[in-house]
Chains A and B, each alone.
Chain A
Amino acid sequence: MSKGFSDREKVIEVSGLTKKFGNFTAVDNISFDVYKGEIFGFLGANGAGKTTAMRMLCALSIPTSGTALVANFDTMRESDKVKSNIGYMSQKFSLYEDLKVWENFRLFGGIYGMNEKEIAEKSNLMLDELGFMSEKETLVKSLPLGWKQKLAFSVAIFHKPRVVFLDEPTGGVDPSTRRQFWELIYKAAHDGITVFVTTHYMDEAEYCDRVSIMVDGRIDALDTPRNLKIKFNVEGMEGVFLKLARGANRKEI
């Protein structure tokens, strides 16, 4: 269902974004907007260019051409301002395994310029909400994967960014943890954080306000899940995905 986002504030504005590696065009001239408070699903087969596109939006990767504004800042010219306003959770777990749970909060809170008191209060609040208080002193490396993912998400939104980028956040975790994870995402969106999420799970695509589907580096479809299903005349998002993916030439990389 459309919530009429289009009249709301734009948080991400992408136009003509392209990334080439030699002769290979990983991301091919994509353009789209994401609105404040939206959960935006970024779908595509492996190798379709999702991660590359996301890394450009996070100012981790320099586009070959095109522009992207994130939180009204240019990812090329104002990358530090972009970085202050976003949270990022990479596909590969990337918190410090040798730090305790609270120490990871402390480190990243500190890096984003929060003060001691703010950090301590917010950590306790978040741990409490996660039901994670008992693990506060646990070294991150000894946590199970599902917990690590939830912790990584919490760290990514710890400094209350305007947008959080999640790269396959639920890869490899069990269905019940996935469900809990999506509850966290909803909560963040409710608190006004825009969520930009890539996923492979089509049931998760249904939870998004709008989804885009990338095929061979292009965005071939972008709409609400409901509209996409109607347009492609299928029952679920899986049908939409398969119909589009069938047209792909690119092999998995």
Chain B
Amino acid sequence: MLKYLIEKEFKVIMRNKFLPKLILVYPVVMMLLMPWAANLDIKDIKVAVVDNDRSPLSMELVNKINSSTYFIVEKYAVSYKEAKEMIQNNEVDLILEIPENYEKDQIRENSAKVNISVNAVNGTRGAMGGAYLSNIISEFFSQKSGSGQAALIDVATQTRYNPTMDYKKFMVPALMTMLLTMLCGFLPALNIVSEKEAGTIEQINVTPIPKFTFILSKLIPYWIIGFIVLTIVIILAKIIYGVSPVGSLAIFYLLASVFVLVVSGLGLVISNYSNTMQQAMFVMFFFMLVMIMMAGLFTPIDSMPGWAQVISGFNPMRYFIEIMRMLYLKGSGLADLTRQVAALLLFAFTFNLWAIISYKKKN
């Protein structure tokens, strides 16, 4: 019985003018564009310098700033007021104002102050830029003021698992998660409800087909689609970004298949409760956005407030992103992932049981 139903699902999907193309094009576009667009590395921050000192030391400082990859000294302004206008016109992100007697103060009193003003309209860029700049300046200060102050604390950072701190490496596994969620979550969410709209569900409901079989016939196609999508993105990630999972590929597929069951199950539950495709779409969007925001995809969960961390504990996507990053970057094995795998299995079971129960053959 199941065979005939799955056969039907595939024929219907393949004969849709749009869906097969979407399933192929979507992962490709996401993989090509997103890692660049979602890049949080701060580079080329534009700085306006107001140098009131015009001393050799102040010029050296400016050169040092300019030589870092983070900053471009875009403009020299005669006054702070002029520099502020540049910020207002969005020409620069930061102002560095060097006071008169900067050189003198530093040499004589061994202390000097500079003023940094940050354009915080783009919060991340401003905050990170400000922090980087103060780092550079204090380093410069230590160098110039001799041994005493230089020996404060020298922190040697060693980055593990993503040694070049390449943001793309960090994003690729997260993007795969997002792709699987979008395709294997949205398509089932629209599936049952589209049968309601077409009226075909009535013809199915009047047959003795068990609810379990029906739901299974809706899950398996998306499971297979998930595998196809996953294979496409793994290959693309390798070719374009040179990123491939450090951990076992078999475990990777195994856990991805559990995750697909989770999101497809959620999609089917929503589809069961919806009367129109529009409704299903909006409800799915709601859950999708919450899930993406609270998954640690863009922002680390540890820096969320306590209540948000609690909510993210109920977010299946969070566990899968953890799995993906650990597998992809760290090469963890199943033993390191038990907590996440247990959580995913629980979600998969709950959502799919719910999907079976909420599919009503009678009303």
Which A residues contact B (CB, under 8 angstroms)? 58-62, 79-81, 83-84, 86, 88, 90, 92-99, 103, 106-113, 139
Q: Which residues of A contact B202 (CB under 8 A)?
A: 60, 88, 90, 92, 94
A113 with B8, Cβ < 8 A, contacts A60-B205, A60-B361, A84-B208 known: no
- Report yes or no: B1 in contact with A113, Cβ–Cβ below 8 A: yes
Closest-by-CB residue of A relative to B13 is A98
Q: Give the residue of A61, A90, A98 whose beta carbon is less than 8 angstroms from that of B362.
A: A61
Closest-by-CB residue of A relative to B16 is A98
Contact indicator per residue, chain B 14-25, by CB within 8 Å of chain A (1) or not (0):
011000000000
Interface residues on B, range: 20 to 34
| Bound form: Cα–Cα A109–B7 in Å | 13
Q: Which residues of A contact B206 (CB under 8 A)?
A: 58-60, 83, 86, 88
Of the A-B pairs whose beta carbons lie under 8 Å apart in the complex, a sample of 22, sorted by A's number, is A60-B205, A60-B362, A61-B363, A62-B362, A80-B210, A81-B208, A83-B208, A84-B208, A86-B206, A88-B206, A94-B203, A96-B12, A96-B200, A98-B11, A98-B15, A107-B4, A107-B7, A110-B1, A110-B5, A111-B5, A111-B208, A139-B15
Q: Which residues of B contact A97 (CB under 8 A)?
A: 198
- Report yes or no: A95 in contact with B203, Cβ–Cβ below 8 A: yes
* Given A61-B363, A111-B209, 4 other A-B residues pairs in contact with their CB atoms under 8 A: A59-B206, A60-B205, A60-B206, A94-B199
A108 with B207, Cβ < 8 A, contacts A60-B202, A60-B362, A95-B200 known: yes
Shortest B122–chain A CB gap in Å is 48
Shortest A119–chain B CB gap in Å is 9
Q: Which residues of A contact B16 (CB under 8 A)?
A: 98
- Report yes or no: B208 in contact with A112, Cβ–Cβ below 8 A: yes
Closest-by-CB residue of B relative to A80 is B208
Interface check B81, CB cutoff 8 A:
no
- Report yes or no: A103 in contact with B8, Cβ–Cβ below 8 A: yes
Which B residues contact A (CB, under 8 angstroms)? 1, 3-5, 7-8, 11-12, 15-16, 198-210, 361-363
Q: Which residues of A contact B15 (CB under 8 A)?
A: 98, 139
Shortest B195–chain A CB gap in Å is 9
Shortest B204–chain A CB gap in Å is 8
| Bound form: Cα–Cα A208–B209 in Å | 31
Q: Which residues of B contact A106 (CB under 8 A)?
A: 4, 7
- Report yes or no: B200 in contact with A94, Cβ–Cβ below 8 A: yes
Shortest B278–chain A CB gap in Å is 20
Q: Which residues of A contact B7 (CB under 8 A)?
A: 106-107
Q: Which residues of A contact B3 (CB under 8 A)?
A: 110
- Report yes or no: B4 in contact with A110, Cβ–Cβ below 8 A: yes
Q: Which residues of A contact B362 (CB under 8 A)?
A: 59-62, 79
| Bound form: Cα–Cα A139–B363 in Å | 31
- Report yes or no: A90 in contact with B363, Cβ–Cβ below 8 A: no
| Bound form: Cα–Cα A44–B5 in Å | 36
- Report yes or no: B11 in contact with A103, Cβ–Cβ below 8 A: yes
Point out which of B4, B7, B206 has the most chain A C-beta atoms below 10 A from its C-beta: B206
| Bound form: Cα–Cα A84–B201 in Å | 16
| Bound form: Cα–Cα A95–B203 in Å | 7
A111 with B1, Cβ < 8 A, contacts A86-B206, A98-B12 known: yes
Closest-by-CB residue of B relative to A87 is B206
Point out which of A79, A92, A96, A139 has the most chain B C-beta atoms below 10 A from its C-beta: A96
